[in-house]
Amino acid sequence: MPDSIGPRARILASLVLAFAVSAVNSVAMLPVLALLAGAALWLGRAPWRRFRAPVALALAFVLGLGLSLGDSTVLRLGPVPLYAEGLQAGAMIAVRMLTIVALVWALLGRLSPLQLAQGLRGLHLPALITDMTMLTLRYLNEVRAELARAELARRLRAGPTGWRALPDRALILAASLIRAQDRAERLWAAMRLRGHGASHPVAGIGMGELAALALAVACAAALIWLDRAA
Amino acid sequence: MHLADGIVPVGMALAGYGASAGLTALALSRINRLPDPGAGLPRAAMLVTVFFAASLIAIPVPPASVHLMLAGLMGICLGWYAMPAILVGLFLQAVMFGHGGLTTLGLNGLIFGLPALAAYGLWARMGQRWPDLAAALAGGGAVLLALGLFAALVLLGLPPQLDAGAERLALAALVLAHLPLVLAEAVIVVVLLRVLRRVEPRLLAHA
Amino acid sequence: MSLLSLSDVGIGWQDGPPVLEHLGFDMATSERVGLVGPNGAGKSSLFQTIAAILPTRAGQISFDGTPVRAGRFNPKLAMVFQNADDQLFCPTLAEDVAYGARNLGLPAPEVAARTTQALAECGLTGLEDQPVHKLSGGEKRRACIAGALVMRPALLLLDEPSAALDLRQRRNMIDLLSKLPTAMMIASHDLEFLLELCPRILLIDQGRLCADGAAHDILSDAALMAQHGQEVPASLARG
Amino acid sequence: MSLLSLSDVGIGWQDGPPVLEHLGFDMATSERVGLVGPNGAGKSSLFQTIAAILPTRAGQISFDGTPVRAGRFNPKLAMVFQNADDQLFCPTLAEDVAYGARNLGLPAPEVAARTTQALAECGLTGLEDQPVHKLSGGEKRRACIAGALVMRPALLLLDEPSAALDLRQRRNMIDLLSKLPTAMMIASHDLEFLLELCPRILLIDQGRLCADGAAHDILSDAALMAQHGQEVPASLARG
């Protein structure tokens, strides 16, 4: 994926393509989607680790629907029949899901937090939402580390493990919320001291962004047209 | 309990976006009526970060481990801010961690947002008089409500010719699998709100 | 005309007891003043009041010729908080440093030029795209200062700039601050640090300004220091 | 027999580069050892390895006669974190201090007695019902130590116990620690603080133990200190 495409265009393009893929219903389109997913995986150089959960979920759909839907048996898992109609419906869902996951990864997976926040700002979302996104991205790692240190401190003081630790976890969460509130007060002062509230100019749409978006819309239209035709 | 991409029909996903956008617009208009809406931003953002970070930690609840959802608690601590906060969290989860989906962002926003707002309403009505009961209901009830919404949306979205018996079985399995989470969240919310009421009631006053 | 002037100022939250009362002093352009006092003496509250975060309870503060009014923030007056993480709220270093300049409504090239310069002054060139949370403690501290310098302030309020730095980082901080032409007020428990940077010291304790004078005189006055819970820095004790 | 013994220990995350290698030293019961080194030299990693949080990459650590195994936490070995807020998670001071003792399964009167004693030793008597987040910085720091003492540890690992304390609080901390009979290892940049508490100093830098000896000898060795980014404390420089 060329790095020159701005985050705003990437977010819009992922939405357009994801919805187009969701709209595909015809079995004949499965190879087209698979091709698209393959291209996205190749372009995005996606790490396999990230796809473990979606692949497991996709398999569950294939199996679950294959076991429970339809009446033409294609094969038997021991005494249990697998039905063609169910397998087909499951495969449809699985391929759509995995294609979208691959596309989203290729377009958005490598964006930095800053780029993500800029992309949302470029979409003219309410400032409350974009600022909240930015702050969450900034402090997420910090808070995760704090929670991990608190958990360690608890264990070092002979804290219980397993379900008996549940009330202690609630205590840690409460302490963390109190800290978050205190930090928010200092943060608000720091933000205002540096002129928070001034409006940020949003860049106009450039040719590159327009071209990328046009390409995404064309792909989406082609997908839907092919699906209707098939 | 996130709806993934590709499961539900496009029409439903778009309707989800519409409903979530409407709910968020309502939330934003309520927020703008507050005396100092800007000051609520860093507060909401910091609390969301804690909720988000906490939901990434797996908690061992035999026989497996669960991720906390914390929708009820978010509603109680954030009030109307919970709705935009949940959308932000879901968007980041979909993009950064591959949980949930992009087309289903709107639907997931409803699955988590409606229980959060319900918990907020419940706490506002009952929190003063029966705090522990309200906390348990808000904590566990939010999980149950989210579970119900999730199941309803999945069933609506799946092929209509699906066997009714199998549907009921899958639904029962889903609820059973999440019962530990319902209990865990009820316990966590009760303990946590007891602490906050004792030492930092300001955290609850905003809701 | 003095840059900052306080006359008979009372400090503290409206609904609490006063933290400091009858406070009066002036600061000249480019002057560096150290602020000393035990924890809880009101150093942070004083900074917040000067920076227009907290309202005054009494008296007048004027900065750059105009009265300071709570809630009216003046970009010429910058504050660097004790905890760097509370202040670095943008995802990357360059974005964070540029934040204040962008909010001044400057044209983009000017914002970029100021950011580059502030990063260079603080020895952070090359780290522009680093996520803020990956910076070391010393880098974070300098990033906060860069984020303030980008607004070209006339007065910098620094709260414990040497805390949690190791000796090398602390030495870098002394070099950085001693080269800046900006007036600054530095609150610190690190008296050796103040001694190297500030010709003048204010000592606050028990709700009032207890001493205001040359750093060497105040910090070496064993009786005065002991009376206010301080210790004469080792480099003066034997000198 | 020594209380703690490290022989040829390698420290660091399994998947990263080693932080410290070929580390070997012993600590005796009731000994107080200062740990000095620039930020990033591995002081925290060393503490985490001794406390069985991090696994060793090589070598053997034994504590109290038994080998330390990662994940097997020993209540006889307590660690006080650099940031007190990470460690205080119970609603009130008394509950937080009692936490470790309660987890040891002691009878309630014993828990109460130990808690009262630990609070008294740390000068916190009277603050029992205070919410922990309302305590001052110095009180929080002492609360962490009380929460460790309640488990009657044989070794205390203290990470920067004097950071962000004012001089009075720092003096209290010195008094408190010097009265405890427990063995302790103290990591700090505050060399004057170490000089008052620790007869022995370990200096780590660039992945290895660079010096291990009497505090006065190491801290006054200007060449050694400069080589590892340290400065001779002022009280020794003129002495």
Q: How far is C235 from chain D (nearest CA, A)?
A: 5
**Among A74-88, A165-179, B183-197, C183-197, which stretch is predicted with the lowest mean pLDDT?**
A74-88
Phi, psi values for residue C204, rounded to 5°: -120, 145
Residues C129 and C115 in one domain: yes
- Report the alpha-carbon distance of residue C93 to residue B42 in Å, rounded: 19
Distance from CA of C205 to the nearest CA of D (A): 12
Chain A's closest residue to C95, CA to CA, is A114
* pLDDT higher than 70, residue A201: no
Query: How is domain B10-204 classified at the architecture level of CATH?
Result: Orthogonal Bundle (1.10)
The complex's ipTM works out to 0.90
Task: Encode pLDDT of C118-149 as tens digits.
Answer: 999 999 999 998 888 889 888 999 999 999 99
Buried b (16+ CB within 10 A) or exposed e, B32-47: eeeeeebebbbbbbbb
* Confidence class for position C150, pLDDT limits 50, 70, 90: very high
Percent of chain B topping pLDDT 90? 59
More confident residue, D26 or A57: D26
Mean pLDDT of D206-233: 91
Say whether both C104 and C63 belong to one domain: no
Average pLDDT score over chain B: 89
How far is Cα A7 from Cα A122, in angstroms, rounded to an integer?
8
B179 touches chain A (CB under 8 A): no
Are the Cβ atoms of D39 and C137 closer than 8 angstroms?
Answer: yes
Closest CA to D216 of D230, D237, D188: D237
pTM score of the predicted model: 0.89
Give the pLDDT confidence score for residue B143 in this predicted structure: 95
Q: What mean pLDDT do residues C23-46 have?
A: 92
One domain for residues C8 and C122: no
Do D53 and A152 lie within an 8 Å CB cutoff?
A: yes
Provide the residue type at A29 as one letter.
M
Q: What is the mean pLDDT of chain D?
A: 92
Report CB contact under 8 Å: C105, A198. yes
**Confidence bin at A203 (pLDDT 50/70/90):** low
Chain A hits for C79, CB-CB cut-off 8 Å, are: 190, 193
What's the confidence (pLDDT) of residue C13?
80
Neighbours of B88 (CB within 10 A): 27
Per-residue pLDDT averaged across A139-151, rounded?
Answer: 93
Q: So what's the pLDDT on residue A2?
A: 58
pLDDT at residue C96 tops 60: yes
Look at D237 and C235 and tell me if their CB atoms are within 8 Å: yes
Neighbours of chain B (3+ CB pairs under 8 A): A, D
Q: Which of A110, A111, A138 to mutate to test the interface with C (most CBs of C within 10 A)?
A: A138
> Residue A114 — φ and ψ, nearest 5°?
-60, -45
Residue B181 clears pLDDT 80, i.e. is over it:
yes
User: Tens digit of pLDDT for each residue in A42-73?
Assistant: 887 777 777 888 888 889 888 888 887 778 88
Q: Residue D141: its pLDDT value, please?
A: 93
Residues of C whose CB is below 8 A from A197: 103
Residue B18: predicted pLDDT? 96
Domain holding C210: CATH number?
3.40.50.300
B107 touches chain A (CB under 8 A): no
The answer to whether the Cβ–Cβ distance between C167 and D38 falls below 8 Å is: yes
Model confidence pLDDT, tens digit, residues D35-83: 999 888 899 999 999 999 999 999 999 999 999 998 889 999 999 998 9
Do residues D87 and D130 both lie within one domain?
yes
pLDDT in tens, B34-70: 888 788 899 999 999 999 999 988 877 766 777 889 9
Q: CB count, 10 Å around CB of A199?
A: 8
Give pLDDT, residue D238.
60
- Domain span including residue C103: 77-152
How many domains does chain D divide into? 2
Flag if B202 and A181 touch (Cβ within 8 Å): yes
| Beta-ladder partners of C203 | C36, C211
Both D63 and D2 in a single domain? yes
CB within 8 Å of chain B, chain A residues 161-220: 161-163, 165-167, 169-171, 173-174, 176-178, 180-181, 183-185, 187-188, 191, 196-197
Q: Mean pLDDT, to the nearest integer, of B184-198?
A: 94
Average pLDDT over residues D183-211: 94
- Report residue B108's pLDDT band, with 50, 70 and 90 as the boundaries: very high
The pLDDT assigned to A1 comes to 52
- Tokens 């009505």 correspond to what residue? B125
Average pLDDT score over residue span D163-180: 89
Question: B117: closest CA among B73, B147, B150, B151?
Answer: B73
Q: CA-nearest residue of chain A to B200?
A: A178
Interface mutation vs chain A, best among B41, B69, B132, B187, most A CBs within 10 Å: B41
Region of poorest pLDDT, from A42-56, B97-111, C45-59, D72-86: A42-56
Place D221 in a pLDDT band, splitting at 50, 70 and 90.
Answer: very high
Answer yes or no: are the C-beta atoms of B31 and B81 closer than 8 Å: yes
Q: Kindly tell me if the per-residue pLDDT of D239 is higher than 60.
A: no
Query: Looking at residue B203, what is its pLDDT?
Result: 84
pLDDT at B207: 44
Ordered by start, the domain boundaries in chain B are 10-204
Q: Which residues of C touch A (CB under 8 A)?
A: 48, 51, 53, 73, 75, 78-79, 81, 83, 85-92, 95, 99-100, 102-105, 129, 131-133, 147-148, 151
On average, the pLDDT of chain C sits at 91
Within this chain, do residues D46 and D162 fall inside the same structural domain, yes or no?
Answer: yes
Cβ-Cβ contacts under 8 Å, D229 against chain C: 166-168
Which residue of A23, A89, A100 is in closest CB contact with B101?
A: A100
Q: D157 pLDDT exceeds 90? A: yes
| 8 Å CB contact of D85 and A153 | no
Closest-approach residue (CA) in chain D for B192 = D91
